Amino acid sequence: MASETASSGPLLQLLASGLQLWVRQQCQSIDSLDIALQGSALGLLRGRLAGVQLLARRAVFAHLPIEQVELTSEPITVHMGNLLQGQPVKLDQAFTIEGQISLSTAGLTTLFSDPRWRELAELLHEQVLGQLPLQQVRIEPERLVFVLQGNAPADRVELQVMLRAAGGTIELTSPAGELLCRLPMDPNIAISRAWIEAGMVQLQGRARVSP
């Protein structure tokens, strides 16, 4: 069940509900969503919210399954007039968020095999996998394992790769550290850390959100 929390006061509660609806509209689906607001009613009347903390689980954003999202925003300019009139929350100015997302095996499989991510899949095959079809992505401690279909139906080829953050994006390397591929990244997103923990790929960074 989704929920939202905020500092006491009807204005903050109203805004929390409005922001929850806005976040859900940006995603294909979210199993659970918690929003905590930082600020005061006086600040809201002046059109300023000190910040937002968000925790979402099992979300699908841009057709990518994400197991967990933890984000914190910088101060946000808001227009309470819309909400007070029963209209959707309105965010006019871009703002920065920082946080961490967790990708499970299902998320990685979608990222590397779904037709909607075709350009990424083509880059991966060109620079890392070769011409063999990708059958499965497996997450192991400290590394990813790409399971490829061999030349014969019963053949399987396993390719181990490591991941690291560099230059604002994610790099795939060989276990020896040789660079294999640098993943393309939206210019509004900068990845600062990439690692594997608890059986999932963890990505930490910041992004610029344009309403």
pLDDT in tens, 57-82: 999 998 899 999 999 999 998 877 77
The answer to whether residue 7 scores a pLDDT higher than 70 is no
Please give the pLDDT value at position 5. Answer: 40
Task: Read off the pLDDT band of 8 (50, 70, 90).
Answer: low
CB 16 within 8 A of CB 37: yes
Please give the pLDDT value at position 4. Answer: 37
CA distances from 165 to 53, 80, 195, 203 (A): 24, 39, 8, 9
Average pLDDT, the chain: 89
Total-model pTM: 0.88
SS3 state of residue 135: strand
The encoded tokens of residue 112 equal 């590397």
pLDDT in tens, 168-182: 999 999 999 999 999
CB 34 within 8 A of CB 52: no
